[in-house]
Amino acid sequence: MPKYSITAYCDQCKRPHTMGIIVEIPNGPTETKSIADTFKGQDIPHKLKTLLNEKIQCPITQTVFMQNETHKFFFVPVCEKN
């Protein structure tokens, strides 16, 4: 099953930051894609909706932020080494 790292876009420094979370999604995207676009027309799984309540620290500004827009969270495919 495809694995993805989750990143959140930081509105302050204008960059995505990894959240240190790896998820498996059956039939997931082959390239980086937002959670909103991946589940367009479907219910977003509860486990992913909880990301909207997570505090994220920006490594650039050192500020803590919460991203509450699903189109600013991204699945980034993880390449596994064999």
Tokens of 82: 């064999």
pTM over 0.75: yes
Nearest to 23 by CA among 8, 44, 6, 41: 6
pLDDT tens digits along 5-52: 999 999 999 999 999 999 998 888 999 999 999 999 999 998 888 888
Nearest one of 5, 70, 61, 8 to 38, comparing CA atoms: 70
* Tokens representing residue 25 in the block: 């999604």
Q: Which amino acid is at 30?
A: T
